[in-house]
A = this chain, B = another copy of it.
Amino acid sequence: MSFKAVVERIRKDVEAYQSETRSPIYLALNENPYPFPEELIRQCFESIDPSKVNLYVDSPSKEFLKELVDYLSTDSWRAREEQISVGNGADEIIYVLLLMFKDLSIYVFPPTYSCYEIFANALGVKVNKVPLRGERIDTKTLKGLLNEDCVVFLPNPNNPTGHLFEEEEIFWLLKTKALLILDEAYFEFSGKTFAPLIEQFQNLAILRTFSKAFSLASQRIGYIVANPSLIDAYNRVRLPYNVSYLGQTFATIALRNKRIFQERVRKIIEERERLKNALRSMGLKVNDSKANFVFVYLERERTERVYRALLKRGITVRKTEFGLRMAVGQPKQNDLLIETLEGSL
């Protein structure tokens, strides 16, 4: 095949990634509604060493890794450095894991994070889909399918629905011996993590990000926590200098000031609950999201109609085939969202 034929095949087969156009109230990407604190930006710039900017900087740096260890550790579990690595956003980690395990049977459970399939398509990697039953994992179908030759990508809380899976569902998956990539991008909003379980389960890997709770989406910093063998293999396949020095500096300072972000997380959770209640009182089917967004189940036609009504008021949300996903915004944005929804029903 000629290189031109390869280029044309990619252009035909791989859909271009597109996010909704920016609008005054933009709730389509589950971003944190609060800017990164100016005081911390100042701290970051003061802590930058100009004579390091021109150099290749370890990724992760020792400093950053130390902060990650502290952040991950709990009263009963101390994380170790060799259990952790980083990515250019959690997205890069997903991308590299898909490459590493491309010859195995990869599973996702729709509705799920759209990028698993988007990246798999871009990489020519096959992904098997076993839809959730309601909001539960379809263990009946999966029983005969999952084994140690399989890899499962699962967000918890789930995306786009925002619900947490039951502990038993996670344990059920772990016991199939499949490698479970548990994507805890929204962990700070749910308060629920399975990270300490990597000590017991060699088939568990946890993904996290600084893009949500830490207001650092633009800086591209994700991390993976798993047994040292898996981390070592990941480090050999990924790019060596994958997270920038400034990105690491911002993330390090964010962790050293985590109380600021935890306070904001509390505010976002309060707003999430307010939003849920308001939507429910309109008779909408809203699930019990534990993330920084809410999900409204709607039939396709109504999804389209409500989506357009919101857009007319400058509010952009995420349209899915099951309904609408709406990031929790700042209180006034949520007020307008609620008001517009009321008018559109």
Contacts and interface: CB of A to CB of B under 8 A. Distances in A.
Interface of A: 1-4, 6-8, 10-11, 14-17, 19, 26, 29, 31-38, 41-42, 45, 48, 50-57, 88-89, 91-92, 95, 99-101, 103-104, 119, 122-123, 148-151, 178-179, 202-203, 211, 215-220, 229-230, 232-233, 235-247, 250
Contact of A237 (B14, B91, B149, B233): B14
Given A41-B45, A220-B241, 16 more contacts: A3-B178, A4-B202, A6-B101, A7-B233, A10-B100, A14-B236, A31-B54, A32-B54, A35-B53, A53-B250, A56-B217, A122-B236, A122-B237, A217-B241, A218-B246, A220-B244
State the oligomeric state as a number of copies: 2
8 contacts: A11-B236, A16-B235, A17-B240, A29-B55, A29-B56, A35-B52, A41-B45, A220-B241
A294 B149 CA distance: 49
Given A16-B235, A123-B99, A3 B218 contact: no
A50 B215 CA distance: 10
Contact of A53 (B33, B99, B219): B219
The 10 closest A-B pairs by CB, nearest first: A218-B245, A54-B215, A36-B53, A2-B148, A17-B240, A10-B233, A3-B179, A35-B50, A14-B236, A35-B51
A3 B232 contact: no
A138 B35 CA distance: 56
Contact of A11 (B119, B218, B229): B229
A104 B235 CA distance: 26
A31 B56 contact: yes
Contacts of A89: 239, 241
A179 B243 CA distance: 30
Contacts of A42: 45
A238 B42 CA distance: 32
Contacts of A4: 148, 202, 229
Contacts of A101: 3, 6
